[in-house]
Amino acid sequence: MSKLLLIKKLNFKARRGMKETSEILHKLFDSINEFTDKELNQLECLLDIDDQHLFDLFFKEKEKFDEEFYDLKKYLK
């Protein structure tokens, strides 16, 4: 799959029902053109997580997010 097509697919998957998680995902998408293939794969894995678990990762289990999605956390500063 081409990088552009993958980015479009991920952008569609990033549409969430929770405002808080959507705002964080938008921060990631602001830098998506700079992502390496590894970072795109991590983002794809992140977007496969259901909304409630994603919320928990961002707000309750930050250490777990940092461990599992190490390459993405630099874009959330």
CB 48 within 8 A of CB 16: no
The boundaries of the domain holding residue 36 are 3-76
Please say whether the beta carbons of 6 and 35 come within 8 A. no
Q: Is 37 helix (H, G, I), strand (E, B) or coil?
A: helix
Q: Tell me: the pLDDT tens digits for 15-68?
A: 888 899 999 999 999 999 999 999 999 999 999 999 999 999 999 999 999 999
The predicted model scores a pTM of 0.88
Q: Give how many domains the chain has, as a whole number.
A: 1
